[in-house]
């Protein structure tokens, strides 16, 4: 780790783009001012499976302001499209309800909306299957789970060990379909220039994949496609890969010969921008009477679409969290007439930890053992399934520090007509990085510019990278400008997998170090530039036999209304061990954001499958509840600094996703502590509790 | 949105004069504009009544008359409402968000339409929107829909919080039509779906709500509104209860009780009120009264939880009111 | 197309406009007047990202038909700063890191400005215990009053002290 990183790094700088954001000056994709822009809207299918036979395009084209109606009957053939989800209008097939099967383009937004409503589409309808069931005959083992782990792992002899275990837990946990719902809907503004070049103002977690996808789909030289995304209104995984809005904006702009923009409507965010698969998880734990685990099994059932295979790595967390010699993790997938699931904050770890950390709590109850002590007793020396050393692992320190800060463990109590209880869970997320490139430039006036096609989707990465660059260059951060979010800048990893800062920072440090070494010779009038890429060292790094993960522990106190089953969080504590923290102000916000989303997941979020129509019945923000301000009480965040030399030049572990991991289990464990009712399917709603409580009306 | 012509009414008679076949009144727009964007409402003409004069005035005996155009937030903040009818202020404050309450009006709140997901989705059948097309909610998504008063044609609920204490108060709704003025009891304003869910209220086309009158009711000072919901704010009720208690020592002289979130209209609990009259002000009486009312409940497959929640919410609210000094 | 003429004062500037009657105040601001600070998060009054002040009152501009607000004075996020000096709420949001992606932020700030005026006027909220007593702005009050502004990044925990600090 660089010895120069000890000045600005570690300081809680205000976000460098703060003024733009609070003043309403930061531009998001839909907001760039382009003359003559046309408005496009995707049109959603009203069948879940079947074929488009025709539509009343001629009639709709007569409506005032309508410029084009696009569908498979008249759309240009796309060249090369890897993802079947993006094969827009290339076939009459309908693979899920609300898949885009047509589009309208008009002079104004209002005209486009009315054209969309006037469009009548004729379908051949087929029977659809949209509900995930344990007894689905179509369940199969996928070749791998996201992003490339084996689907199944086996160690020792689980069945025998489990049968012989003196104490055991065998439970099924369920998480529902969840939607990312960033505040900014996906949006693209496509501008063709006269020379066959294309500029896209787009909302994404990385400009590189958008350019690559568009170039291939439309047969363009990538150097003629520019993607711009300096400000992005959240993503949480749904903007990691380009979506239909990108393809449609380009196609529509081409069709009408004008710059064209479109935003996915909030209702459409429930069908064409990805989501987290529902899961059915069987968790089995076998232990000795002292709590030592002898057998762990985590068997997952989840879904994908008929278009593409995406298998969330739900059981992968169980492969590294606790020691036990006899283990099994499996994933079974079925392909339903639903949209393709994809990444949503902490894929794998998030739903998987709900099951694992709830099961551990149930085991602790069986053993009459403190749940923290149970975890300490099963802390592995080495990564249980790979046998590798952990580069650093501070689960126990987080549990102990958190227990003290939280005041663990007050006995469950009654406060008037409210039951109060507390719960704990462990958090974890892998710490990885991918290759990226950066350019560091010194200007003759003493300022510096660093350019990298990184992304700041609210993570504070622009600010953290500024600090990293400043320290490496040994200058004050005010002299450094960090430019990101443009394919004109050196290619970089997307903001995803909590890999952003580790990936970008590595390249930025390398480029800045090289530049710093040359500054002694003075900066010429046209400036001085150094570029660097990290492909080689990261490839070598990935081959090292080390397990790199971030860890944490979360504590939650709940208040349950004994008469109605309403659950409210009264306070929470999260303690994390994530290497070195670059900016304590923005890091705290990331941990808070993750835990807030975890509380939302525990108590509120579910996209309810409508079996009759094949879509999600509650497909808007009134029906799909995300946490509002009143749901979130004081949350105490702390971290344990780790000096881990095996990570990257900054010594950081990604922190964007770990906050959501474990929260839902901590809440469920707290609800059990308060009420004696164990809820194993999320969200924990009054309907699920009210029957198990003893309300006023039952008292004498 | 369908194209529409727009006119602003200067006064009530002007508003009525503007009406023709395809016209609809626009007040705050927080429900109507939402429905127009969804294509559920497609007026050819809007007559804007949002800025018709509206005020909160005294009536004989200490009641209040609230103009239909007065925004929800203003009614909730009005000191006379807070003092004399606290459950009315509480109901308003529990609804929607601060921003929505600033635009939504007294009249508009009462006339807002159900939030049943099928009603709000023109790509799906709905007997309320298109009579005879069917009710998918009956067997589909209905966890937050009716347990009382529903029919095979429609299981929707009325979403208003404001209407619930108004039902308990026996509020009077002043209506103006081409044929003159009439007064409709709030409890008669909203219909049960029966065979024709397409009509939410007894209002005839061309009738305009001009005011809501809260009758004087001294014991309404001992009132409360309890809204049970999954999210701590900005969310519709699972069940809500409005109650006012008139106590004579430890005995209930009279009670007013109404439920929200359980039916096509705010549900005035007359069976419970009968059971409470003259009963001791104890948990036992309150449970018995709740059971008397909920005996008629017919929960659907997925909303059975509303019955115990309603029973418990009624009981705890009445207890809390009884315990106040 | 049905058109209607209105005048609107936006951030101190008078505009005489002829509009498609279907135009919402939000789309008028963003698409016609180039004031893209107010955001479209849901277009149905369910998220608060579009919150602006109309005659000093906070409203969801996505549900406000522009034609219905003829003659109104509108203040958007762009109009809160005073000649380049950030409003107290804006400065406080930066200091307290009360935003992450920034998309809900203009709505949060305009809503907070409107909300603080409501408190000044003595308006109670759902969590106000005694409806007849003066209102005291504690954290629970701020949380409840700001619950019409959804933040998916989860900046609520910083939004509350940011508003409290600006109120003082």
pLDDT tens column, A538-579: 999 989 999 999 999 999 999 999 999 999 999 999 999 999
Q: Is the pLDDT of residue A699 over 70?
A: no
pLDDT digits (tens, 9 = 90+) for C94-146: 999 999 999 999 999 999 999 999 999 999 999 999 999 999 999 999 999 99
Give the one of C90, C97, C144 whose C-beta lies nearest to A586's C-beta. C97
Q: Tell me if B160 is assigned to some domain.
A: no
Question: In this structure, are residues C39 and C29 in contact, taking their beta carbons and an 8 Å threshold?
Answer: no
Asked if A445 has any chain C CB less than 8 Å from its own CB, the reply is no
Prior bond to A575 cis, omega within 30? no
Grade residue B205 by pLDDT with cuts at 50, 70 and 90. confident
In this prediction the pTM is: 0.98
B234 touches chain C (CB under 8 A): yes
Topology given in CATH for the domain delimited by C3-80 = Ubiquitin-like (UB roll) (3.10.20)
Note the pLDDT tens digit of each residue in A610-635. 999 999 999 999 999 999 999 999 99
Q: What angle do CA C117, C118, C123 make, to 5 degrees?
A: 150
The 8 Å CB, 24+ separation contacts for C6-9 are C6/C66, C6/C67, C6/C69, C6/C70, C6/C71, C7/C70, C7/C71, C8/C66, C8/C69, C8/C70, C8/C71, C8/C72, C8/C74, C9/C72, C9/C73, C9/C74
Strands (E), C11-138: 13-20, 51-54, 57-60, 73-75
Of C30, C100, C146, the CB nearest to A629: C146
Residue B197 lies in a domain: no
Residue B309: inside a domain: yes
From residue A652, give the alpha-carbon distance in Å to each of A466, A494, A499, A503, B89: 15, 17, 10, 10, 52
Residue B288, SS3 per DSSP? helix
Report the neighbours of B using a cutoff of 3 or more CB pairs below 8 angstroms: A, C
Q: Greatest CA separation found in chain C?
A: 52
- Residue C127, token pair as written in the block: 């969590």
State phi, psi for B69 to the nearest 5 degrees.
Answer: -90, 0
Distances (CA, A) of A445 to A300, A480, A483, B75: 59, 12, 18, 62
Cα of B13 to nearest chain A Cα, Å: 32
pLDDT tens for residues A427-484? Answer: 999 999 999 999 999 999 999 999 999 999 999 999 999 999 999 999 999 999 999 9
Radius of gyration of chain B from Cα atoms? 19
The structural domains of chain C, with segments of one domain joined by +, span 3-80, 88-167
Nearest to B100 among C21, C131, C148 (CB): C148
Any domain includes B263: yes
Q: Confidence class of residue A1 from pLDDT cuts 50, 70 and 90? A: very low
CB contact under 8 A, C148 and B73: no
Q: Which of A17, A23, A596 sits opposite C154 (nearest CB)?
A: A596
Residue finishing a domain among B50, B68, B87 = B50
| pLDDT of A175 above 60 | yes
Task: Please state the domain count of chain B.
Answer: 2
Is C3 within 8 Å of chain A by CB?
A: no
- Asked if C35's CB is within 8 angstroms of A24's CB, the reply is yes
Give me the residue from B37, B77, B103 closest to C44, CB to CB.
B37
User: Hunting for tokens 């570029």 — which residue is that?
Assistant: A531
Tell me the pLDDT of chain B averaged across its residues.
96
CB distance A67 to A96 below 8 Å: no
* Portion 22-81 of B in contact with C at CB < 8 A: 26, 29-30, 33-34, 37-38, 46, 48, 50, 73, 76-77, 79
pLDDT, position B23: 84
pLDDT-based confidence at B18, cuts 50/70/90? confident
B134 assigned to some structural domain? no
Quick one: fold of C88-167? DNA polymerase; domain 1 (1.10.150)
Neighbours of chain A (3+ CB pairs under 8 A): B, C
Write the pLDDT tens digit of every residue in B145-159: 999 999 999 999 999
Measured between beta carbons, the chain B residues lying within 8 angstroms of C145 are 98
| C-chain residues near B93 (CB < 8 A) | 124-126, 128
Q: Taking CB atoms and an 8 Å limit, are A628 and B231 in contact across chains?
A: yes
Domain boundary among B50, B68, B90: B50
- What is the CATH classification number for the domain harbouring B243? 3.30.390.50
How does pLDDT run across A677-691, given as a tens digit for each residue?
Answer: 999 999 999 999 998
In this predicted structure, the answer to whether residue A3 has a pLDDT above a threshold of 80 is no
B288 touches chain A (CB under 8 A): no
What pLDDT is attached to residue A648? 96
Buried b (16+ CB within 10 A) or exposed e, A406-439: bebbeebeeeebbbbbbbbbbbbbbbbbbbbbbb
Cis before A409? omega within 30: yes
Average pLDDT value for residue range B58-71: 97
The answer to whether C94 contacts chain A (CB < 8 Å) is: yes
Percentage of the residues of chain C whose pLDDT score is greater than 90: 96
Q: What is the pLDDT of residue A6?
A: 66
What is the average per-residue pLDDT within A302-316?
A: 98
Q: Chain C 137-156, CB below 8 Å of chain A: which residues?
A: 140, 142-144, 146-156
How much is the average pLDDT of A192-213? Answer: 96
Q: Which among B33, B93, B96 is the nearest to C65, CB-wise?
A: B33
Within an 8 Å CB–CB cutoff, is residue C99 touching chain A? yes
Using alpha carbons, list the distances in angstroms from residue A486 to A34, A205, A412.
Answer: 18, 11, 53
Chain A closest-CA separation from residue B174 CA (Å): 31
Residues A419/A695, Cβ–Cβ less than 8 Å:
no
Q: Do A64 and C142 touch (CB under 8 A)?
A: no
* Catalytically active residues of A, by annotation: 657
Distances (CA, A) of A492 to A88, A126, A436, A438, B283: 27, 43, 4, 8, 66
CATH code for the domain of B31: 3.30.43.10
Contacts of B234 in chain A (CB under 8 A): 628, 630
Kindly provide the ipTM of the predicted complex, given to two decimals: 0.98
Helix (H) or strand (E) holding B317: helix B306-323
Report if residue B116 sits inside a domain: no
- Burial bucket for residue A163 (CB in 10 Å: 0-12, 13-18, 19+): exposed
- Is B42 contained in some domain? yes
For residue B209, pLDDT over 50 is answered with yes
* Pairwise CA distance, residues A184 & C34, whole Å: 18
**Taking CB atoms and an 8 Å cutoff, what residues of chain B touch A696?**
283, 287, 312, 315-316, 319
Spatial contact of A316 and A286, defined as CB atoms under 8 Å apart: no
Please state, as a whole number, how many other Cβ atoms lie within 10 Å of the Cβ of residue A136: 18
**Is B240 within the bounds of a domain?**
yes
pLDDT at C45: 98
Range of the domain at B307: 222-323
Count of A–C CB contacts within 8 Å?
179
Cis peptide bond prior to A687, omega within 30° of 0: no
User: Which of B95, B287, B312, B315 has the most A C-beta neighbours within 10 Å, making it the best mutation to test the interface with A?
Assistant: B312
């Amino acid at each position: 780790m660089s010895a120069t990183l000890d000045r600005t790094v570690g300081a809680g700088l205000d976000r460098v783009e703060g003024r733009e954001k609070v003043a309403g000056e930061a531009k998001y994709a839909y907001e760039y001012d382009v003359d003559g822009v046309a408005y496009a809207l995707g049109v959603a299918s009203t069948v879940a499976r079947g074929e488009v036979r025709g539509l009343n395009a001629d009639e709709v084209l007569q409506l005032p302001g309508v410029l084009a109606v696009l569908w498979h009957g008249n759309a240009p053939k796309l060249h090369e499209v890897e993802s079947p989800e993006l094969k827009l209008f290339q076939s009459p097939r309908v693979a899920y309800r609300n898949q885009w099967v047509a589009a309208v383009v008009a002079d104004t937004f209002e005209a486009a909306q009315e054209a969309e409503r006037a469009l009548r589409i004729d379908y051949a309808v087929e029977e659809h299957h949209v509900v995930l069931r344990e007894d689905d005959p179509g369940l199969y083992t996928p070749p791998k789970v996201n992003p490339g782990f084996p689907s199944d792992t086996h160690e020792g002899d689980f069945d025998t060990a489990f049968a012989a275990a003196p104490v055991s837990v065998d439970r099924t946990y369920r998480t529902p379909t969840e939607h990312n719902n960033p505040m900014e809907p996906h949006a693209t503004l496509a501008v063709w220039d006269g020379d066959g070049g294309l500029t896209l103002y787009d909302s994404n977690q990385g400009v590189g994949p958008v350019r690559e996808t568009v170039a291939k789909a439309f047969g363009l030289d990538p150097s003629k496609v520019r993607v711009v995304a300096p400000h992005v209104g959240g993503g949480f995984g749904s903007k990691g890969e380009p979506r239909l809005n990108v393809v449609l904006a380009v196609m529509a702009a081409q069709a009408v010969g004008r710059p064209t923009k479109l935003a996915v409507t909030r209702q459409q965010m429930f069908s064409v921008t990805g989501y987290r698969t529902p899961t059915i998880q069987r968790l089995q734990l076998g232990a000795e009477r002292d709590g030592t685990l002898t057998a762990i099994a985590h068997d997952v059932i989840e879904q994908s679409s008929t278009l593409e295979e995406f298998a969330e790595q739900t059981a992968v967390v169980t492969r590294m969290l606790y020691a036990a010699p006899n283990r099994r993790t499996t994933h079974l997938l079925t392909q339903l007439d639903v949209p393709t699931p994809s990444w949503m904050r902490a894929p794998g770890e998030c739903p998987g930890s709900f099951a694992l950390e709830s099961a551990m709590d149930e085991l602790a109850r069986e053993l009459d053992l403190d749940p923290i002590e149970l975890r300490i007793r099963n802390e592995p020396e080495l990564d249980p399934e790979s046998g590798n050393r952990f580069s650093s692992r501070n689960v126990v320190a987080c549990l102990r520090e958190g227990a003290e800060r939280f005041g663990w463990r007050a006995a469950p109590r009654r406060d008037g007509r409210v039951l109060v209880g507390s719960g704990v869970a462990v958090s974890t997320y892998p710490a990885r990085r991918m290759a990226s490139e950066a350019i560091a430039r010194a200007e003759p006036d003493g300022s510096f510019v660093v350019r990298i096609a990184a992304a700041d989707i609210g993570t504070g990465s622009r600010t953290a990278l500024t600090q990293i660059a400043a320290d490496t260059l040994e200058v004050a951060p005010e002299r450094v400008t960090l430019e990101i979010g443009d394919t004109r800048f050196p290619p970089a990893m997307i903001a995803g997998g909590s890999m952003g800062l580790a990936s970008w920072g590595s390249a930025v440090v390398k480029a800045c170090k090289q530049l710093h070494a040359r500054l002694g010779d003075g900066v010429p009038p046209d400036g001085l530039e150094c570029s660097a890429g990290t492909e080689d060292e990261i490839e070598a790094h990935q081959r090292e036999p080390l397990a790199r993960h971030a860890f944490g522990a979360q504590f939650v106190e709940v208040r349950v209304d004994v008469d109605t089953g309403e659950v409210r969080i009264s306070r929470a504590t999260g303690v994390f061990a994530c290497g070195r923290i670059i900016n304590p102000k923005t890091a705290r916000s990331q941990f808070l954001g993750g835990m807030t989303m975890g509380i939302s997941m525990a108590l509120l979020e579910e996209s309810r499958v409508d079996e009759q129509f094949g879509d999600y019945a509650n497909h808007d923000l009134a029906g799909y509840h995300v946490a509002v301000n009143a749901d979130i009480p004081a949350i105490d965040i702390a971290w344990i600094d780790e000096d881990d030399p095996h990570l990257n030049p900054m010594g950081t572990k990604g922190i964007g996703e770990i906050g959501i991991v474990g929260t839902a289990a901590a809440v469920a464990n707290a609800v059990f502590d308060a009420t004696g009712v164990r809820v194993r399917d999320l969200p924990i709603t009054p309907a699920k509790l009210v029957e198990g409580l003893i309300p006023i009306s039952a008292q004498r | 949105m369908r194209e529409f012509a727009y006119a602003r009414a200067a006064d009530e008679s002007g508003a009525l004069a503007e009406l023709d076949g395809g016209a609809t009144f626009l007040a705050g727009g927080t429900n109507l504009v939402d429905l127009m964007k969804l294509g559920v409402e497609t007026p050819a003409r809007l007559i804007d009544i949002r800025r018709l004069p509206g005020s909160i005035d005294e009536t004989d005996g200490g009641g209040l008359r609230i103009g239909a155009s007065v925004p929800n937030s203003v009614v909730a903040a009005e000191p006379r409402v807070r003092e004399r009818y606290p459950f009315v202020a509480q109901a308003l404050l529990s609804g929607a968000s601060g921003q929505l309450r600033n635009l939504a009006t007294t009249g508009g709140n009462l006339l807002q339409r159900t939030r049943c997901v099928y009603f709000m989705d023109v790509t799906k059948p709905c007997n309320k929107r298109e009579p005879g097309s069917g009710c998918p909610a009956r067997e589909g998504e209905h966890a937050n829909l009716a347990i009382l008063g529903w029919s095979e044609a429609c299981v929707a609920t009325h979403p208003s919080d404001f209407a619930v204490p108004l039902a308990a108060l026996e509020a009077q709704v002043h209506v103006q039509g081409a044929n003159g003025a009439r007064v409709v009891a709030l409890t008669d304003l909203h219909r049960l779906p029966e065979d024709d869910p397409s009509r939410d209220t007894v209002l005839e086309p061309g009738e305009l709500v001009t005011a809501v009158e809260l009758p004087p009711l001294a014991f309404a000072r001992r009132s409360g509104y309890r809204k049970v919901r999954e999210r701590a704010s900005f969310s519709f009720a699972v069940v809500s209860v409005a109650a006012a208690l008139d106590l004579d020592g430890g005995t209930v002289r009279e009670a007013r009780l109404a439920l929200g979130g359980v039916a096509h209209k705010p549900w005035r609990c007359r069976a419970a009120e009968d059971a409470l009259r003259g009963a001791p002000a104890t948990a036992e009486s309150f449970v018995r009264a709740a059971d008397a009312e909920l005996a008629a409940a017919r929960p659907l497959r997925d909303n059975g939880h509303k019955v115990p929640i309603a029973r418990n919410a009624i009981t705890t609210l009445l207890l809390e009111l009884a315990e106040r000094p | 197309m049905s058109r209607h003429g209105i005048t609107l004062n936006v951030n101190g500037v008078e505009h005489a406009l002829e509009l498609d009657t279907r135009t919402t105040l939000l789309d008028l601001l963003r698409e016609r007047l180039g004031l893209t600070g107010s955001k479209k998060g849901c277009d149905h009054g369910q998220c608060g990202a579009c919150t602006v002040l109309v005659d000093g009152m906070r409203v969801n501009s996505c549900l406000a038909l522009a034609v219905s607000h003829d003659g109104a004075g509108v203040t958007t996020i762009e109009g809160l700063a005073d000649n380049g000096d950030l409003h107290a709420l804006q400065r406080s949001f930066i200091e307290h890191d009360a935003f992450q992606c920034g998309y809900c932020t203009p709505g949060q700030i305009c809503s907070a400005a409107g909300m603080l005026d409501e408190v000044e006027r003595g308006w109670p909220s759902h969590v106000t215990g005694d409806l007849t007593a003066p209102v005291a702005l504690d954290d629970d009050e701020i949380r409840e009053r700001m619950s019409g502004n959804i933040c998916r990044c989860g900046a609520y925990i910083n939004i509350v002290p940011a508003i409290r600090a600006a109120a003082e």
